[in-house]
Structure 1
Amino acid sequence: MTRPRCVLVGPPGSGKSSVGLALAELLRLEFRDTDSDIEQLAGKPIPEIFFDDGEEHFRALEREAVTSALRSFDGVLALGGGAVLAESTRAALAGHTVVFLSVELADAVQRVGLGQGRPLLALNPRATLRHQLDQRRPLYQQVASATVVTDGRDVPEIALEIAAILRSG
């Protein structure tokens, strides 16, 4: 059965893409981001999907992309920040090695900027991000096999920590 070596979850600004790429390189595996899969499925960027089709349509595409990747991909997989909102996605993650990249508001805001290209952060980005962190943290913790704090740390250091977790697990 094909399954990802590691699934990264966390809020915007936690480093899923940058850490995922570094980890995949370290482990000599491929990296895949379900947000990219969604853009390929829809044939347009995520902000356009939200604007043209709405969040519910985006979430349906996201559930489809995550389910497909969990079944068919064997590298390092990063999920979009809101993927864990779907109960079916949380259930599908059971039995997978899931690493929650934890980040606090100050670092997240610094990393994502103030919402460019992130439709859910378009209006009051700081307040929205704070709400997302509070709302989603229990869900990230629920699906995680391990939690890695990313605040104030660089990408190679975080990737090395995850690689060590994967070796010991």
Structure 2
Amino acid sequence: MSGPVVVLVGPPGAGKSTVGAALADRFGVPLVDTDTEVETTTGRSISDIFVEDGEAAFRDLERAAVLQALADQRPCVLALGGGAVMQDEVAAALESADVQVVFLDVTIGDAASRVGFDTSRPLLLVNPRASWTRLMNARRPTYERLADHHVQTGGRTPADVVAEVAERLGAGG
């Protein structure tokens, strides 16, 4: 097998990092979280990049991280930042890649309880609930278009979500 085993997409608070880590463990492959990759590569937090360089600079770094992870031949679970799919080049790469994309969906109530809309989420700093809702309304059609599978995560344990994702990928049990 080459390349990602699965790509996880969805909004902040959907559980991409948590579910991704558990899926990676289940499949015996590493987790590649593009937000973490950007922070590791730059030695800076995403919030710092947004504040110091702007969103466009972050999106350039994010796009490079996603495209590199998709191009790598090593199996992994790939978790994308919430806005990555809104970049045409990333969406096109996902559509042309031979990989299963799972949209982890969540309500604002569950997302808020998970992430607390803290300062590590720069797009949610001003009026976090309204910002999250606006972002989700803009992103939902793209998540749904790119996804091979749609999994609700709200009110569920990571183990339950992992079991459903694995079953959808034909790796249940």
Q: TM-score, normalised by structure 1?
A: 0.96
CA–CA distance in structure 1, aligned partners of residues 40 and 15 of structure 2 = 22
Q: Please state how far the C-alpha of 1:41 moved relative to its aligned partner.
A: 2.2
One-letter code aligned to 1:108: A
Deviations along 1:108-157, one digit per CA (max 9) or x if unpaired, are: 11111023311111111010001111110101011101000111101000
Greater alpha carbon shift after TM alignment, 110-119 vs 10-19: 110-119
Q: Does residue 148 of the first structure (1) align with residue 151 of the second (2)?
A: yes
Deviations along 1:81-114, one digit per CA (max 9) or x if unpaired, are: 0001101100100132100001111111111102
State the Cα RMSD in Å. Answer: 1.4
One-letter code aligned to 2:87: A
**Aligned match of 1:111 in 111, 114, 120?**
114
Please say if residues 12 and 112 of structure 1, whose CA atoms lie closer than 8 Å, have aligned partners that are also in contact: yes
One-letter code aligned to 2:153: T
**Aligned match of 1:161 in 133, 150, 164?**
164
Please say if residues 33 and 78 of structure 1, whose CA atoms lie closer than 8 Å, have aligned partners that are also in contact: yes
Please list every run of at least 4 consecutive aligned residues from structure 1 whose deviation after the TM superposition is greater than 4 angstroms: none
Kindly report which structure 2 residues correspond to 1:131-146, keeping only aligned pairs within 5 A, or say none. 131-146=134-149
SS of equivalent residue, structure 2 residue 14: coil
CA–CA distance in structure 2, aligned partners of residues 37 and 139 of structure 1 = 23
Deviations along 1:22-51, one digit per CA (max 9) or x if unpaired, are: 111111111110001111222211100001
Q: Does residue 31 of the first structure (1) align with residue 26 of the second (2)?
A: no
Kindly report which structure 2 residues correspond to 1:19-168, keeping only aligned pairs within 5 A, or say none. 19-72=19-72, 73-94=74-95, 95-167=98-170
Structure 2 residue runs without a partner (length 5+): none
Which residue is equivalent to 1:7?
A: 7
Greater alpha carbon shift after TM alignment, 139-148 vs 37-46: 37-46
Identity across aligned pairs (percent)? 47
SS of equivalent residue, structure 1 residue 29: coil
CA–CA distance in structure 1, aligned partners of residues 118 and 56 of structure 2 = 20
Deviations along 1:27-82, one digit per CA (max 9) or x if unpaired, are: 11111100011112222111000011000000000100000001114111100000
CA–CA distance in structure 2, aligned partners of residues 106 and 83 of structure 1 = 23
Please say if residues 105 and 133 of structure 1, whose CA atoms lie closer than 8 Å, have aligned partners that are also in contact: no
Please say if residues 47 and 119 of structure 2, whose CA atoms lie closer than 8 Å, have aligned partners that are also in contact: no
